[in-house]
Structures are given as structure tokens and as C-alpha cells.
């Protein structure tokens, strides 16, 4: 195995274990902390995919903002959910079976795909992914509409969330 493969393997395992703990940990704050580790592992994989911008954005948005929001939400809804008792609902064996079946199905479908095991091609010369992305985001024949819509979506989400969380009983 070459070094990159080892790094990938280590972080993939860390991420998956952390993800598993996210969905099984009893204390919700621990869940949130494991979630942060899992998201960080994903950021490392982005670096391995030559997407440094997404790695930094992942850490900034997910760890810096979304995870904090989760921790706040856990603290705000704390009263009745002590860390005692099962955090799993009654149908969890069914859910586990479903998840395993889905993974097996995905594996089956993917492995019959011709370019499943394709090696990483070299980056085309002269391409600057970052400024290309910036250009595409504001080009009318590329992603201008989603770009502006994302902004409007976020505004709507923010106003809605503020309204929902601030209304009195």
C-alpha cells in the first residue's frame, strides 16, 4: 500500500467508527462530538481528492457552525431527556437490517459498474478549480440561478427559523 492509501484507510475507518458512535451514543452531547470527528474525517478525504477548498469549507461550516448549532439545540432541549434509558426506538433492529441491505445492494450495483475501480486521473493542466468554480457560479449559462437561489433559500430559512424559535407559547 502506498502512503496515500494508508492515510485514506485510517481516516475512512475513523470516520465510519465515529459515525457509528454518532448514531448509537447514549449522551447526545457525545453524539454531537463524535459527529464533529466524523465530519473532520470527511474533510481529510476532501484533501485527498484535491478539493482543499471543500475541506476548509467543511471544517468552517460543519464543525464551526452546524455542530455548534447541534450542541446548542441539545442544551436547549435537555430537560426531559436524561442520558439514561435507551436512545433507540423499538424498531431499531429493522432499521439495522434495512441499512445493511441497502449497503449490500449499493455494493452489488456499484461493483457491476465498469469504471468502479478506475484510478485517479491527473488534473488537466492549467485548470484552477477554485477560480473556475467562482466563474461558473456567476455565469448565466452555468450556475447563476442556483447561486442566487441558494442565497434566497438561506434567507428564507433564517427568517423562518427565527420566527419559529422566537414565538412565545
Tell me which residues in 27-86 interact with other proteins (CB under 8 A): 28-29, 31-33, 35-36, 38-39, 42, 44-57, 59-81, 86
DSSP labels, 105-152: HHHHHHHTSTTTTPPPPPPPTT--HHHHHHHHHT-TTTTHHHHHHHHH
Footprint (CB under 8 A) of other proteins, residues 140-169: 140, 142-144, 146-148, 150-167, 169
CB 40 within 8 A of CB 20: no
**In this chain, which of 10, 14, 84, 91 binds other proteins, going by CB under 8 A?**
91
Q: Residues 6 or more apart from 34 whose CB is under 8 A from it? A: 18, 19, 21, 22, 25
Shortest distance, position 41 Cβ to other proteins, whole Å: 9
Q: How far is the CB of 123 from other proteins (least distance, A)?
A: 5
Asked whether position 10 contacts other proteins by CB under 8 A, the answer is no
Which of 14, 88, 86 minimizes the C-alpha distance to 45? 14
Enter the C-alpha cell of residue 112: 457491476
Least spacing, CB of residue 24 vs other proteins, in Å: 8
The binding track of 101-140 with respect to other proteins, each residue x by CB under 8 A or -, is -xx--xx--xx---xxxxxxxxxx--x-xxxxxxxxxxxx
Question: To the nearest whole angstrom, how small is the minimum distance from the Cβ of residue 20 to other proteins?
Answer: 6
Amino acid at each position: 500500500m502506498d502512503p496515500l492509501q494508508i492515510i485514506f484507510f485510517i481516516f475512512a475507518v475513523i470516520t465510519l467508527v465515529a459515525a457509528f458512535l454518532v448514531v448509537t451514543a447514549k449522551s447526545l452531547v457525545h453524539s454531537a462530538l463524535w459527529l464533529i470527528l466524523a465530519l473532520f474525517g470527511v474533510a481529510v478525504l476532501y484533501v485527498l481528492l484535491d478539493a482543499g477548498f471543500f475541506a476548509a469549507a467543511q471544517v468552517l461550516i460543519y464543525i464551526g457552525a452546524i455542530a455548534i448549532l447541534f450542541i446548542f439545540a441539545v442544551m436547549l432541549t435537555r430537560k426531559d431527556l436524561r442520558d439514561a434509558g435507551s436512545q433507540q426506538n423499538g424498531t431499531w433492529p429493522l432499521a439495522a437490517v434495512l441499512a445493511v441491505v441497502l449497503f449490500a445492494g449499493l455494493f452489488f450495483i456499484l461493483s457491476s459498474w465498469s469504471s468502479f475501480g478506475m484510478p485517479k486521473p491527473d488534473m488537466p493542466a492549467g485548470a484552477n478549480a477554485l477560480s473556475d468554480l467562482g466563474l461558473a457560479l456567476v455565469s448565466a449559462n452555468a450556475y447563476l440561478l442556483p447561486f442566487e437561489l441558494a442565497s434566497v433559500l438561506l434567507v428564507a430559512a433564517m427568517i423562518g427559523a427565527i420566527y419559529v424559535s422566537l414565538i412565545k407559547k
